[in-house]
Structure 1
Amino acid sequence: MKSCSFTLIFNMKIPFIAARIQHMRTNFFLFILLLSGLSACKIIKNPSTPIEKIILEDVVVTPSSKKVILSYKPMETRVVDLVHTKLFLSFDYLHQWVNGTAVLSLTPYAYALSQVKLDAHGFTLLRVAQLKGRDTLTLSYDYDSLKLNVSLASDLLLKDTLQLLIQYIAKPNEIKTGTGKAISDARGLYFINPLGTDPNKPRQIWSQGETEYNSGWFPTVDAPNEKHTQDIYLTVEEKETTLSNGLLKDTKHNLNGTKTDHWQQLKPHAPYLTMIAIGNFIVTKDTWRNKEVSYYLEPAYAPYARTIFGKTPQMIETFSKITGVDYPWDKFSQVVARDFVSGAMENTSAVLHYEMVQHTDREHLDNPHEDIIVHELFHHWFGDLVTCRSWSNLPLNESFATYGEYLYNEYTYGKDYADMVFAKNLEAYLRSKNKYQESPIRNYYAEADDVFDVVSYQKGSWILHQLRNEVGDSAFFKGINRYLTQNAYGTTDIHNLRQAMEWASGKDLQVFFTQWFLGKGHPELQIALKRNTEKNRYELEVKQVQDSSFGLFTINTELAYVSLHADGTSKVKTIPITIQQATETIVLPPIGHELILSYWIDPKGNIPGVIVETKDPNSWMFQAGLATGYQAKQRAIKAISNLPYEKDSSIQLKLITQLLSSSLYYDQLTALDLIEKLDTFYAHFEPQIIDMALHNKVVEVRDNSMYLIGYKGKGELAKSILLQGLKDSSYEVMATSLQSLSITDETLCLQKCIGLESIQTATLQRTISWLYASHAKDNKNAYYKSVLGKFGMYRNSILNAYFTYLRNQNKAVLEEALPILENYYTLSSDRDKAKTFRSFLKTLQAKSKETEFFESVTFKAFKEKVQTDYAN
């Protein structure tokens, strides 16, 4: 699963929320999204410039007087083995119900059984019976709306297989919703715009099983250590397209204008990976080694299917080669769904993506969403083929899928690019200080969703990277292959991975796995190199200064240093070192009378922790110029940027010049970031920044250059460049140029906004909606009416912009706006619309000066309706 919760996002640069690297993303004004579950998200920096604060209702947090006691979460005890699931399903859109018949093939796991217990959430049970050939034997049962306990007519012996028939109505929309970090809802199955009232959204049905939510629409053993095969029969309208796991075996056309699609998967997988999706999709088909690779998109986006997903066969080939295990499933399909509750989900052979993944050719320039596609694909080895047997062992799924992004980038684009992207994972973890006390393998937690976090994903991916460094590439990939082949179609815990890596490397890895996977926190190293003149040698002083509760780490790494020879030449040398004490001194090999000009540890960038090195400015400059690893180079750049300007401006100037002249676009982005921070240098580099804004081939470089010109540039020159930016091929660059223009010439910016209203893309319309909210003085009700509810996951941002705009408008504009808001609210099929409107209406009333309007009967009636809906 690819997850990132965007419930409330503050201080974000409006034009860009996407799965790509952001070196400089400060924003012009506050932007709030009320979303649940974006994908592939990267942390975006706080703004360095003043922004207007947009405040929602106050939230008062009262600490609980009770201490939360976390209970031990063992692996689910295996009592019964679910061998096969056969489902016959049809759908009641009016009530949002599933009419289901399930036939479950069950055997005892270890002991004979007189009862069978299943997970079934919120069902109306119509019949429970045992099938014996042509005979049907009705069975008695107990049911508490969560667990179905079926009493058998006779004991089920180990050699026996029970065919259990359950006829039911599932009511997933009536299940209490969840509050998880990765999954914002717990219904399991979702009816989107079921009555077709929302003009901006298609009617769809889709499922989301992880963690244990599929039991909201079919009876099962809803645990990750269960595996089953399946046949699913979906009866839908003729015009609808269906998708499920495995292969579409046949379609039966019924006399009543419906059809029944039969999907079959005969390779076992966990019940949470079972999926269905139903809607108006256009299917585009590719192949990989004669296996189907298909893409399900809304009709408007079908022409761009190969733009969005076209690299998928190459990705499958890449991972088949990296793991040494060919893609193990019958097909690989991807579907994009509306209002998805997470970022994406690795349902076996049928990945479901959130709606931002579908986009046009031009939008593809700004974010191709490769990382999310790669992440879910790699799950088909780590998570689907081999599944963590308990959520405590989630890193076996999610750390690997996240590291899969690195492996793909390294294989496809090279190590430099992969390291640059990967660094953001470590940064994300290190920013999450509240997570330092969590170990990747967690047996104690409140809810399963609690372990879907930065520790299981980002930190875990770095631990795998360190493990690769520990055993070496050959043993690492040999161990991966061993782990996958030994446990194919089965379940594992962390010790299975350790044993596979020990087998491949011949090393005892107990210490490594204990400190990194079972332990918490990370090392914080203080490093200094000193010359011992008395003994004519250099000594590396190392201190571990992390929280003492983390313990001491044993780290096998390297030290790189630059030595100056007598003939004036210098050379970078690298030696292995081991760090394991709280304080220790490592003696370097004798170098005679040579001088060491600089040094840095972990030159390849493998340590999941913090490294602080003490050295002078010239030494940092040597490191910035000679370090080949991304992490080591970035440490030097950060240190140089923090030097006092008055004393070290020449070094900073030299560094920025060096970075700008680099052929690597991320060096150029780093240079722009430094110019933003050290704004004294803007005038010196303005010609180069203008050239990059207009001619650089990389969207991020043009975009960030335009941003700098808007904030640091002056006069007609800056304005002329920004106007050219409005013609860029990238919507991101256009949006940034438009925002920047609002600083240079507000009147001209608003005029340009009017001309851009016709371009139907979320990036521009979100930006225009907020520019109007901040600057427009005239009546913009017609504009907001035209964009409300559109642009998918940005619709709440645009709605928020409208409410913000209305705060400063007179009574007449407010009265005109009210029916627009009422109509949008009535037609909207958003699950959380009452919560969203309640918050916005309350803030509008608090901020607006038009008190008479808020006393009107019509406003009070609307507010009361929203409040009633929210309460219900």
Structure 2
Amino acid sequence: MQLMEIPLKKMATGCLLASMAYTAPAWGQAKNDTSWKHEYRASATKINDLVHTKLAVSFDYDKSYMYGKAWITLEPHFYPTDSLTLDAKGMDIRKVAMVEESGNKPLKYTYDSTQLHIGLGKTYMGKERYTIWIDYVSRPNELKPTGSAAITDAKGLYFINPKGTDKKKPTQIWTQGETESNSAWFPTIDKPDQKTTEEIEMTVPSKYVTLSNGLLVNQRKNADGTRTDTWKMDLPHAPYLFFMGVGDYAIIKDSYKGKEVAYYVEKEYAPVARRIFGLTPEMIAFYSKVLGIDFPWAKYDQIVGRDYVSGAMENTTSTLHEEHAQQNARQLTDGNQWEGTIAHELFHQWFGDLVTCESWSNLTVNESFANFSETLWAEHKWGKDAGDEHNYSDMQDYIRSGESDKNLVRFYYQDREDVLDAVTYNKGGRILNMLRYYVGDSAFFQALHLYLTENKFKTGEAHQLRLAFEDITGQDLNWYWNQWYYGSGQPNVTIDYNYDDAAGKVTVHIQQTQAGHAFILPFAIDVYSGNNKERHQVWMRSKDETYTFSYTTHPDLVNVDGDKILLWTKNDKKTAANYIFQYKNAGKYVDRKEAIEYASRHQDDPSVRAFLLTAFHDRYKGLRIDAIDAINPENAEMVTAALPELATIASNDKEPTVRAKALEILAQVKDPSYMPLFDKSVKDSSYSVAGQALEGIYNLDQAKGLALAQQQRSDARGKLSETIAKILLINARPEDFPFIIETYEQLEPGQAKFESTDKFCEFLAQVKDTALFQRGVDDVLKFRNVIPDNENYAFARNMITSKLKSVGTKKRTAGDQAMADYVDKLLAQ
């Protein structure tokens, strides 16, 4: 599963807080309840094992019901048993029977709305198979589940615009199983350590297409205008990975070694479907090669669902993506923002689907790998800088998450969805990347191959992963697993240097300053003198270590962690000259990134200003953007030196996102001489470039900017849409209100939405249309609720709450008590 990403900036300090996958405690749970700290979360005990699941389902679009019949084949795991307990949430259970040759034999059962307890009528011995038949109704909208910030709902089955009343939204059905929500639409043992083959017959209106796990083996037209599609999955997988999708989709087909690779998109996006998803066959080939295990399933399809409750989900052979995956041609000009997610979900087909975590405590063997795979893919497809950028960015997101007190393998948690967080994703991915460097690529991928081969179609945990690595490397790796998998936190270090030219020695003093134990760290220290580099492999085993190296020429740089892969925070006492040399000579992405970050804080130094100008032309687009963004607008000398360079970049850089960043700075200057550049750029095919240019125009000529905003609103997304909405907010007219609210709704949770919320709430105070007002308030509250509820993000949540309260207050002064009461009611929930 890929979670939503939230970048937020703490305005008081200017410190970037996060761009991360996150989660908060499940709704409705008392925050002061700490009893969970003493409840060990073991793997689910197996009394009965699922063997095969057959479903026959049809849908009532008026009631949002699903009518189902289930044939569930099971066997006792080991010990004899005369009973069966199935998870079945919020259903109407009509009949339960044992399937026998002579016919179905009714069985006694009790049902408490979450679990179905069935008496089997006799004792079955270990591995003695039997089949249960259940007639039931799933009523997901009547279910009252708890969700979390990671997965915002847990109904399992979702009817989207089922009656077609919203003309702007398609009618769809999709399911979401992780963590244990699929038992809201079919009875099962809803635990990750169960595996079952599957067959689903779906009866739907003939105008719709269907998608499920495995292969479509039969289609039958019915006399009532419906069609029954039969999907069959011959290989076992976990119940939470079952999937159904129904809707009016275009199906764009690719292939990999004769296997279907298809993309289910809304018809508007059919022309660009391959630009969004078309790298999938290449990804499959790459992952198959590095893992030494060819894609294990019969096909691989991807589908996009409206109003999805998370980012994406790796249902076996049938990944579901949220609607932001669908980008039009102008959005894709800036790059496919969903590519990393596509790679992430695909890698799950091995790590998560082929081998599944045996418990949610061990979710790292699913999600850490999928997170790490994004680095692998970026490195393979776009180069080492792109891979290192992803790795570094996710590392910083974890460090800023405020979750360093959590173990990666977590046997104590309040809610199972708590483990869907920056530790499991971001930190876990970095731990794998460090391990890759420590053992080497060949051993790393051979160990993954062994782990997958030994545990395929079964479950895995972190210790099984360790044993695979030990088998391949011949090393005892308990030290690594104990500190990174079964421990918490990361080292925080201070690094000092002392040069003694008379003795020809440099001393490097590294001190770990975190509370608690010392981390054991193997790494390289590179000593540079001109073009000569000497590498020294060292181990840090205590909190305070000193390393001494000899030299004949005074070093230009001593570069600790020369591979730049350690997960730590550091106070590195390098000089400006050291960092500039590091940028030019060490050369890795993080080497250059650190130099640019240093330059952002030291622009009073002429050598730093000169260096930063050269960084505007870094070979990697991400660092060009960082260098431009590092400009201190209050440093007149830096700004004066940078502007001519930025004007050239805004016109000529081959990357639209770099041109847009240069235009962003130029727009803030409000220099009329840049108006021709803005006029040219506002017509650019890139929304980012056009949006920044429009902001520049508005800053120089408000009437002209407003006119352009009104003209371009019909084809606006991304930065262009944000700029237009901001301009229309300032010049709010009643006829613009629907566009403004729709634009705010479409903003992904993050920095842009946070910065828009203040003005948006002021705008809501002017809205007289009750439906529009409530729609706007609902989305502001929805945004507030997905911001992590911890001290790092308290400023954001408190600001939004305060603004919502002010909306209610202003409405009272306008005499509209009903709207004020609506705000108060929501805030009180």
TM-score (norm 1): 0.86
2:680 to 693, 701, 724: 724
Secondary structure, aligned partner of 1:596: coil
What is the match of residue 90 of structure 1?
58
Shift in alpha-carbon separation, 1:581–1:868, aligned structure 2, 3 A: closer
Conservation of the 8 A alpha-carbon contact between 1:76 and 1:225 = yes
How far does residue 366 in structure 1 lie from its aligned partner after superposition?
2.5
Residues 1:4 and 2:4 are matched in the alignment: yes
| Aligned mate of 1:689, from 646, 649, 654 | 646
Q: How does 1:211-610 map to 2 (within 5 A)?
A: 211-368=179-336, 369-433=338-402, 435-532=403-500, 536-548=504-516, 551-563=517-529, 570-588=531-549, 590-591=550-551, 593-610=552-569
Q: Displacement, 1:630?
A: 2.1
* CA distance in 2 between partners of 1:581 and 1:620 (Å): 27
Shift of 1:205: 0.8
Report the Cα distance in structure 2 between the residues aligned to 1:831 and 1:260, rounded to whole angstroms: 41
Change (3 A) 1:819 1:385: closer
- Alpha-carbon spacing, 1:367–1:11, altered in 2? closer, same or farther (3 Å): farther
1:282 CA displacement = 1.1
Q: Secondary structure at the match of 2:631?
A: helix
Amino acid of the residue matched to residue 657 of structure 1? Answer: L
Amino acid at match of 1:665: K
Find the counterpart in structure 1 of residue 629 from structure 2: 673
- Corresponding residue for residue 615 of structure 1: 574
Hey, what's the Cα distance between the residues in 2 that align with 1:717 and 1:76? 69
| Residues 491 and 518, structure 2, Cα contact 8 Å, conserved in 1 | yes
Q: CA deviation at 1:724?
A: 2.3
Contact 1:468 1:476 in 2 (8 A): yes
Query: In the TM superposition, what whole-angstrom CA distance separates every residue of 1:426-472 from its partner, at most 9, and x where no partner exists?
Result: 11011112x11111110000111000000000111110011111111
- Structure 1 SS opposite 2:714: coil
Aligned-pair distance for 1:806? Answer: 4.1
Contact 1:439/1:520 (<8 A) preserved: yes
Query: Structure 2 CA distance, aligned partners of 1:667 and 1:385?
Result: 37
1:846 corresponds in structure 2 to 809
Distance 1:666 1:869, change over 3 A: closer
1:521-565 Cα offsets, whole Å, 9 max, x none, are 1112222232356854332222111122xx1111111001112xx
The structural deviation recorded for 1:625 is: 1.8
Contact 1:97 1:170 in 2 (8 A): yes
Aligned to 1:53: none
- Aligned equivalents of 2:311, 2:635: Cα separation in 1: 37
Give per-residue Cα distances to partners, 1:368-409, cap 9 Å, x unaligned. 111010000011011111111011111111110011011111
Alpha-carbon distance in 1 for matches of 2:41, 2:30: 25
The one-letter amino acid paired with 1:404 is: S
Q: Does the alignment pair 1:782 with 2:735?
A: yes
Q: Does 1:629 align with 2:585?
A: no
Amino acid in the other structure paired with 1:742 = Y
Match of 1:754 in 2: 710
Please report the TM-score for the alignment, with normalisation by the length of structure 2. Answer: 0.90
The 1:392–1:9 alpha-carbon spacing in structure 2 relative to 1, beyond 3 Å, is: same
Deviates more, 1:66-75 or 1:685-694: 66-75
After superposition, the Cα gap between the structure-2 partners of 1:63 and 1:383, relative to the gap in structure 1 and judged at 3 Å, is: closer
1:739 maps to 2:695: yes
Change beyond 3 A, Cα 1:184–1:284: same
Summarize the Cα distance change of 1:363–1:603 in structure 2 as closer, same or farther, 3 Å threshold: same
Q: Distance in 1 between matches of 2:509 and 2:380?
A: 36
- For 1:834 and 1:469, locate their aligned partners in 2 and report how far apart those are by CA, in whole Å: 40
Distance 1:320 1:348, change over 3 A: same
**In 2 relative to 1, CA 521–838 (structure 1 residues): closer, same or farther, beyond 3 Å?**
closer
Say if 1:11 and 1:97 are closer, same or farther in 2 by CA, change over 3 A.
farther
The Cα shift of 1:69 comes to 3.7
Per-residue deviation, 1:93: 1.6
Give the secondary-structure state (helix, strand or coil) at the position aligned to 1:527. strand
Distance 1:852 1:557, change over 3 A: closer
Q: Deviations over 1:608-667 (max 9, x none)?
A: 111322233322322222112222332333234333x44xx2221231132123333233
Q: Which letter maps to 1:609?
A: W
Task: Report the equivalent of 1:58.
Answer: none
Structure 1 segment 163-178 matched on structure 2, within 5 A: 163-178=131-146
The answer to whether the Cα contact below 8 Å between 1:544 and 1:582 also exists between their aligned partners in 2 is: yes
User: What pairs up with 1:787-802 in 2 under 5 angstroms?
Assistant: 789=742, 793-794=746-747
| Residue 768 of structure 1 pairs with residue 724 of structure 2 | yes
C-alpha displacement of 1:801: 8.9
* 8 A contact 2:78–2:127 mirrored in 1: no
Do 2:765 and 2:807's aligned partners in 1 also have CA atoms closer than 8 Å? no
Counterpart of 2:810 in structure 1: which amino acid? Answer: K
CA distance in 2, matches of 1:230, 1:65: 42
C-alpha contact 1:118 1:219 (8 A) present in aligned 2: yes
In structure 1, the partner of 2:797 is none
Cα deviation, 1:751-774, whole Å, max 9, x if unaligned, reads: 22122123254653343223221x
- On the 8 A contact 2:331/2:718 being kept in 1, the answer is no
Structure 2 unmatched ranges of 5 or more = 22-27, 787-799
Q: 1:865 deviation in Å?
A: 7.7
CA drift at 1:864: 6.4
Q: Tell whether the 8 Å contact from 1:838 to 1:867 is kept in structure 2 after alignment.
A: no
- Per the alignment, in what secondary structure is the counterpart of residue 111 of structure 1? coil
Tell me if the contact between 1:355 and 1:792 (Cα under 8 Å) persists in the aligned partners: no
Unaligned runs of 5+ in 1: 13-23, 28-40, 45-60, 564-568
The residue identity in structure 1 corresponding to 2:644 is: P
Give the % identical residues: 33
Quickly say closer, same or farther: Cα 1:125–1:866, change in 2 above 3 A.
Answer: farther
Amino acid in the other structure paired with 1:580: R
C-alpha distance 792-349 of structure 1, shift in aligned 2 (>3 A)? farther
Partner of 2:793: none
Using the TM superposition, name which of 132-141 and 657-666 deviates more.
Answer: 657-666
Q: How many residues align?
A: 801
Cα separation, 2, equivalents of 1:833 and 1:478: 43
Does the 8 Å contact 1:249/1:263 carry over to 2?
yes
Amino acid at match of 1:350: S
Give the partner amino acid of 2:573.
Answer: T
Q: 1:261 to 1:4 in 2, by over 3 A?
A: same
User: Does structure 2 conserve the Cα–Cα contact (< 8 Å) formed by 1:699 and 1:730?
Assistant: yes
Q: CA deviation at 1:790?
A: 7.4
Following superposition, the deviation at residue 179 of structure 1 comes to 3.1
Letter in 2 for 1:336: V
User: Measured at CA, do residues 636 and 584 of structure 1 come closer, stay the same or move farther in structure 2, by a change above 3 Å?
Assistant: same
Q: Distance in 2 between matches of 1:95 and 1:659?
A: 60
SS of equivalent to 1:501: helix
Give the deviation of 1:734 after TM superposition.
1.3
Amino acid at match of 1:613: D
SS of structure 1 residue aligned to 2:630: helix
Which whole-Å CA distance do the structure 2 matches of 1:383 and 1:795 have between them?
27
1:300-334 CA-to-partner distances (Å, cap 9, x unmatched) read 11121111111111111111111111000110000
